[in-house]
Amino acid sequence: MATGSDDKDRARDGGCDGKEVSRLAHQGPVFAVAFSPDGKWVATGGVDKTARVMEAATGEEVWYLAYQNWVTAVALSPDGKWVATAVGTIPRT
């Protein structure tokens, strides 16, 4: 299980037993979390204008990309080799 939040915990990666495995490296609220189909990778994106990919089992960051705006969505391809991101602001209503 991976969660994103807008509090001080940011994103956390945890097992099914609810114990925290690691804290993910974002420096602000996290808008998007996605697993690769095989469960090996976790992709995240957030207000810190970064997209990141971590190993799900360890939380070790393996990829990082900075943008000029918030990362509002992330997805991993079926083979886990590609990451898609959406970047922009989220309108307030």
List the structure tokens of 6. Answer: 């807008």
List the structure tokens of 93. Answer: 């209503």
Helix (H) or strand (E) holding 88: none
Q: What is the pLDDT of residues 61-81, one digit of tens each?
A: 899 899 999 999 999 999 989
The pLDDT confidence band at residue 28, using thresholds 50, 70 and 90, is confident
Which residues lie across from 41 on neighbouring strands?
A: 55
* pTM score of the predicted model: 0.76
| Amino acid, single-letter form, for residue 4 | G
Q: What is the pLDDT of residues 38-64, one digit of tens each?
A: 989 989 988 889 999 988 888 888 998
From the CB of residue 14, how many other CB atoms can be counted at a distance below 10 Å?
15
* C-alpha closest to that of 28 among 3, 52, 10, 13: 10
